[in-house]
């Protein structure tokens, strides 16, 4: 039955393909029904996931936002989370690598926080953080970053009546506590706010929803390459264009072996870094964990060459032999993933119920 149907479909495609000379099928791109199925794989989800151990509340998200933007979290009050995760720069910065507090570059680039709610575990370029809650105290306490001892931070926040009130509101069980400011509560509030940082709808999403004119013909050809000949979606999969996993794409060299440092006996994880989301990607150069690629055109060249051929390199990375037109199409597709440029929950009122993405 299945074979007979498939045979009939093939025959139909053959006939139509012969008739529609010069149409999309004649240049070998996928058929419309097949493309619809591929598009559906990138449909945006209906709800932001909040973990059971740290459910959403408006008061917690509001407190998290206040903390995220407040330089009181750094010892010299010189930097906040938002110093590097800048809302108007898609929650990253424009430096190849993040700046230490002595102005020397760190080892890696500041990742965007867009769609961070869906990266469930293994955060960081090398996956060193087990969940969103556990990230915050690394930048807060790092001597080269915010340089803030845990006890001093509690003391400082406890001396600000506005914060003491906000902690009591955000954590009802602390309503009667004299000192409601604690590390786990700071972590939970910051994480709750960050889960609201969700990409807004892009032209691509309108196309997924059925608006055929929402993106250019070049972007559509780029999507077919992305999910076809170029095989980008084997790693950049799902609505946020990441599998949340780690791969060596053949670019990194030098001392930083990424995820490999935690798995010294694994070949595949040597030089493996986390697949980044491609939401708003056209707007936030430079690229890669070390900011080594300055433009999307450079990124596409890297994939076209196939990177360094070595045992750790992913089997999904190989020279692609793209034409100039195909490279431009891939870039046009990535450009269709940009939202309207609103800076998400940075300035909008925090809603009572978790918003729909």
CA distance 189 to 89: 22
Give the range of 147-155, 174-182, 309-317, 337-345 binding ligand HEC by CB under 6 A. 309-317
Size of the site for ligand HEC (CB under 6 A): 55
Binding pattern for the stretch 248-287 against ligand HEC, x by CB under 6 A and - elsewhere: -x-xx--------------------x-xx-x--x-----x
Q: Give CA separation, 264 vs 51, 269, 309, in Å.
A: 31, 8, 20
User: Given the complex with ligand HEC, which of 13 and 218 has the nearer CB atom?
Assistant: 218
Query: Residue 127 CB, nearest distance to ligand HEC (Å)?
Result: 8
CA distance 181 to 121: 26
Give the range of 37-45, 129-137, 150-158, 347-355 binding ligand HEC by CB under 6 A. 129-137
CA distance 100 to 62: 28
Q: Give CA separation, 40 vs 33, 180, 330, in Å.
A: 11, 46, 19
CA distance 250 to 271: 8
CA distance 288 to 250: 12
Q: Which residues are annotated as a binding site?
A: 81, 84-85, 232, 235-236
- The encoded tokens of residue 205 equal 């999403």
User: Given the complex with ligand HEC, which of 122 and 158 has the nearer CB atom?
Assistant: 122
Contact 75, 113 (CB under 8 A): no
Q: Among 50, 91, 111, 339, which residue sits at the site for ligand HEC (rule: CB under 6 A)?
A: 111
Question: Between residue 190 and residue 219, which ones bind ligand HEC under the rule CB under 6 A?
Answer: 190, 194
Any contact of residue 157 with ligand HEC (CB under 6 A)? no
Any contact of residue 64 with ligand HEC (CB under 6 A)? no
Any contact of residue 117 with ligand HEC (CB under 6 A)? no
Q: Among 83, 192, 227, 240, which residue sits at the site for ligand HEC (rule: CB under 6 A)?
A: 83
Contact 80, 87 (CB under 8 A): no
Any contact of residue 120 with ligand HEC (CB under 6 A)? no
Contact 282, 335 (CB under 8 A): yes
- The encoded tokens of residue 16 equal 């139509």
Residues contacting 95, CB < 8 A, separation 6+: 105, 109, 110, 291
Q: Which residues are annotated as a binding site for heme c?
A: 81, 84-85, 232, 235-236
Q: Among 63, 166, 230, 350, which residue sits at the site for ligand HEC (rule: CB under 6 A)?
A: 230
**Rounded-to-10 torsion of CA 297, 301, 302, 304:** 140
Residues that bind ligand HEC (CB under 6 A): 73, 79, 81, 83-85, 98-99, 106, 108, 110-111, 113, 116, 119, 123-126, 128, 132, 135-136, 139-140, 145-146, 190, 194, 230-232, 234-236, 247, 249, 251-252, 273, 275-276, 278, 281, 287-289, 296, 299-300, 303, 314, 316-317, 330
């Amino acid at each position: 039955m299945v074979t007979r149907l498939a045979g009939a479909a093939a025959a139909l495609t053959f006939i139509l393909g012969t008739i529609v000379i010069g149409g999309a099928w004649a240049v070998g791109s996928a058929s419309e029904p097949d493309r619809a199925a591929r598009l559906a794989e990138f449909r945006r989800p209906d709800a932001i996931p909040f973990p059971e151990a740290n459910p959403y509340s408006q008061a917690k998200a509001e407190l998290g936002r206040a903390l995220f933007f407040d330089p009181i979290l750094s010892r010299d009050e010189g930097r906040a989370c938002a110093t590097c995760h800048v809302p108007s720069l898609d929650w990253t910065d424009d430096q190849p690598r993040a700046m230490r507090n002595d102005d020397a570059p760190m080892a890696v680039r500041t990742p965007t926080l867009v769609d961070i709610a869906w990266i469930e575990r293994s955060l960081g370029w090398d996956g060193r953080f087990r969940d969103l809650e556990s990230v915050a105290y690394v930048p807060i306490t790092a001597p080269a970053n915010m340089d803030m001892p845990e006890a001093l931070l509690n003391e400082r926040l406890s001396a600000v009546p506005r914060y003491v009130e906000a902690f009591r509101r955000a954590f009802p069980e602390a309503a009667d506590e004299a000192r409601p400011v604690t590390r786990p509560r700071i972590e939970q509030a910051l994480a709750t706010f960050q889960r609201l940082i969700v990409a807004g709808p892009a032209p691509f999403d309108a196309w997924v929803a059925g608006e055929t004119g929402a993106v250019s013909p070049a972007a559509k050809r780029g999507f077919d390459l992305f999910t076809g000949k170029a095989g980008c979606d084997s790693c950049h999969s799902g609505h946020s264009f990441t599998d949340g996993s780690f791969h060596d794409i053949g670019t990194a060299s030098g001392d930083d072996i990424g995820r490999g440092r935690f798995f010294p006996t694994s070949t595949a994880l040597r030089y493996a870094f986390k697949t980044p989301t491609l939401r708003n990607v056209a707007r936030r150069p430079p690229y890669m964990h070390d900011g080594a690629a300055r433009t999307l055109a450079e990124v596409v060249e890297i994939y076209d060459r196939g990177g360094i051929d070595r045992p750790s390199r992913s089997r999904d990375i190989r020279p692609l032999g793209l034409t100039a037109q195909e490279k431009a199409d891939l870039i046009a597709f990535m450009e269709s993933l940009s939202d309207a440029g609103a800076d998400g929950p940075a300035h909008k009122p925090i809603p009572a119920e978790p918003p729909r993405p």
